[in-house]
Amino acid sequence: MTIKVGDRIPSAKLMQATAEGPKEVTTEEFFGGRTVVLFGVPGAFTPTCSAKHLPGFVAQADALKAKGVDAIACMAVNDVFVMGAWGKDQGVGEKVIMLADGSAAFTKALGLELDLTARGLGVRSQRFALVAKDGVVTHLAVEAPGAFEVSSAEAVLAAL
């Protein structure tokens, strides 16, 4: 079942790419007591994700924070080293936190998995963006397959 507005973010462990190296983080500690924008992408270094999705959130980080967002995170079903390298490649700095859901456990708990096994990519995340306040979803936008409209930084900013 797909998560919806009003639902609590499910309990899971993710890996965060930091300057000091990989760090395990629970969803309870990550989402608790603050407003978080989380956007999910099918994969690091993929065309739309690298050309539009992640750069949009980097560019709009200050505007999102001005609207009360405490943290912006990008998540993909990739390992933490890939997410760290992608963040460096994209110059995210402190603007976007790079989260790895290497086994897709959190993505599946959200009900937002996308099976791309037939294309050689395994189980990935659908393209989406959500806003959570103290661990409760207040906004959710899931893209139609192949689309990039409702989960952009600009669309999230307009929804705040």
CATH code of 38's domain: 3.40.30.10
49 is catalytic: yes
Domain-embedded: residue 7: no
Helices and strands per DSSP (H, E), number in the chain:
7, 9
Q: How confident is the model at residue 46 (pLDDT cuts 50, 70, 90)?
A: confident
Domain-embedded: residue 2: no
pLDDT surpasses 90 at 50: no
Domain-embedded: residue 29: yes
Q: How many domains does the chain have?
A: 1
- Segments forming the whole domain that contains residue 28: 13-159
Domain-embedded: residue 69: yes
Domain-embedded: residue 4: no
Per annotation, catalytic residue among 14, 17, 25, 49: 49
pLDDT surpasses 90 at 47: no
Burial (CB count within 10 angstroms: exposed 0-12, middle 13-18, buried 19+), residue 124: buried
Predicted TM-score (pTM) of the model is: 0.94
Domain-embedded: residue 8: no
If you average pLDDT over residues 6-12, what whole number do you get?
A: 97
Domain-embedded: residue 120: yes
Q: For residues 86 and 44, is the Cβ–Cβ distance under 8 A?
A: yes
If you average pLDDT over residues 63-73, what whole number do you get?
A: 98
Range of 47-51, 88-92, 122-126, 143-147 with top mean pLDDT: 88-92
